């Protein structure tokens, strides 16, 4: 993922050669029903791991180490980008239709989903408080498939000793394209995401905004991956459960483009009582 724009209170920097400077990277994603998943993402010489064993979500980054995430078990957002239509449909089951809009020439209906106060509280941990999490899904009126996804997440972090609070707003807009049938399931094989990280606080000159972009394509999708079992989703032995707070800030030099390689997902079929059917995607993503 490469940064294309950086903004402070006094200036805006746009990277003119972002496409030329983009680096290749890759991700591998495995998923097993009902709530287990694991992803490896490599970009710019760094590798990030995250997973869920059905009971807790964890993540590991070079600048952060292994940490458990607060809140209930939930799907990986990347899987919602056209890779897992079944999970996408279940996520938006209780969403509210707020209108219609044409997206890339496709007539769509818009579903809005807001996290309830109980979920926001469960996902919060001192000194970080999740204030808002909203999803907008744009679904094709013709096919019913998700073609655009907007995700907005606002967190308030209270510094120690009564200092000023810092706010982090993360916005992700994803366009999802090239749906193709794979063993009867429609899977998106390309897409483009724009990520905006906005950091602001009480002081008027304290805000910072970073804009990053990612373009990705899927090379391969496979079901029933041999050897995939519950052991593949065991959390790291050095997992910590402490607060992460502002450690989520990306270190210098991490931004870059990435070239995703493999993703795998598992879901139950009606004729499989144990729910041990696996999907596997092999993807090739380039970020600009």
Q: Is 86 helix (H, G, I), strand (E, B) or coil?
A: helix
Cα gap 62→144, rounded to integer Å: 39
Please name which of 30, 48, 27, 47 lies closest in space to residue 38, comparing C-alpha atoms: 30
Q: Which of 25-34, 95-104, 270-279 has the largest mean confidence?
A: 95-104
Angle at 180 between CA 105 and CA 100, to 5 degrees: 30
Q: Calculate the average pLDDT of the chain.
A: 78
C-beta pairs of 235-239 under 8 Å, 24+ apart in sequence = 235/51, 235/53, 235/56, 235/58, 235/66, 235/68, 236/49, 236/58, 236/60, 236/66, 238/65, 238/66, 239/58, 239/66, 239/67, 239/68
Whether this model's pTM surpasses 0.85: no
Contact 174, 81 (CB under 8 A): yes
Q: CA dist 27 to 101, 113, 286, Å?
A: 32, 27, 11
What tokens were used for 202?
A: 């009480």
Residue 282's pLDDT band (boundaries 50, 70, 90)? very low
Mean pLDDT of all residues in 232-245: 71
Domain boundaries, the chain: 2-286
Residue 144 has pLDDT above 80, yes or no: yes
Residue with tokens 């079944």: 86
Residue 121's pLDDT band (boundaries 50, 70, 90)? very high
What tokens were used for 9?
A: 């209170």
How big is the chain by its Cα radius of gyration, in Å? 19
Residue 131's pLDDT band (boundaries 50, 70, 90)? very high
Q: Lowest mean pLDDT: which of 6-10, 31-35, 124-128, 157-161?
A: 6-10
Residue 195 has pLDDT above 90, yes or no: yes
pLDDT at 11: 63
Helix H segments across the chain? 18-21, 77-80, 85-91, 117-122
pLDDT at 247: 33
Cα gap 25→50, rounded to integer Å: 16
Cα gap 27→43, rounded to integer Å: 9
Residue 266 has pLDDT above 60, yes or no: no
Residue 40 has pLDDT above 50, yes or no: yes
- Which residues have CB under 8 Å from 112's CB, separation 6+? 95, 96, 97, 98, 134, 135, 136
Q: Is 96 helix (H, G, I), strand (E, B) or coil?
A: strand
Residue 10 has pLDDT above 70, yes or no: no
**146 DSSP β-pair partners:** 139
Cα gap 179→190, rounded to integer Å: 8
Cα-to-chain-centroid distance, residue 235: 19
Q: Is the Cα torsion angle 132, 201, 251, 9 positive or negative in sign?
A: positive
Mean pLDDT of all residues in 164-190: 92
């Amino acid at each position: 993922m490469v940064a294309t724009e950086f903004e402070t209170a006094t200036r805006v920097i746009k990277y003119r050669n972002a496409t030329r400077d983009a680096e290749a990277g890759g991700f591998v994603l495995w998923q097993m029903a009902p709530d287990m998943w694991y992803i490896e993402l490599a970009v710019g010489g760094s590798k990030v791991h995250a997973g869920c064993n059905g009971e807790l979500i964890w993540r590991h980054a070079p600048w952060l180490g292994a940490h458990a995430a607060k809140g209930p078990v939930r799907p990986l957002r990347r899987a919602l980008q056209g890779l897992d239509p079944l999970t996408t449909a279940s996520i938006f089951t209780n969403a509210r239709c707020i209108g219609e809009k044409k997206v890339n020439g496709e007539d769509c209906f818009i579903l809005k989903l807001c996290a309830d106060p109980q979920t926001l509280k469960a996902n919060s941990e001192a000194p970080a408080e999740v204030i808002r999490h909203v999803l907008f899904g744009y679904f094709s009126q013709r096919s019913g498939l998700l073609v655009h996804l907007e995700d907005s997440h606002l967190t308030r972090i209270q510094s120690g000793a009564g200092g000023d609070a810092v706010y982090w707003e993360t916005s992700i807009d994803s366009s999802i394209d090239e749906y193709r049938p794979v063993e009867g399931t429609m899977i998106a094989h390309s897409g483009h995401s724009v990520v905006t990280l906005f950091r602001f606080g009480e002081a008027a000159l304290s805000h910072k905004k970073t804009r990053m972009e990612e373009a990705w394509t899927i090379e391969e999708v496979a079901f029933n991956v041999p050897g995939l079992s519950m052991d593949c989703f065991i959390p790291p032995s050095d997992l910590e459960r402490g607060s992460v707070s502002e450690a989520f800030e990306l270190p210098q030099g991490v931004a870059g483009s990435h070239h995703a390689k493999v993703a795998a997902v598992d879901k139950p079929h009606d004729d499989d009582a144990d729910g041990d059917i696996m999907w596997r995607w092999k993807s090739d993503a380039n970020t600009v």
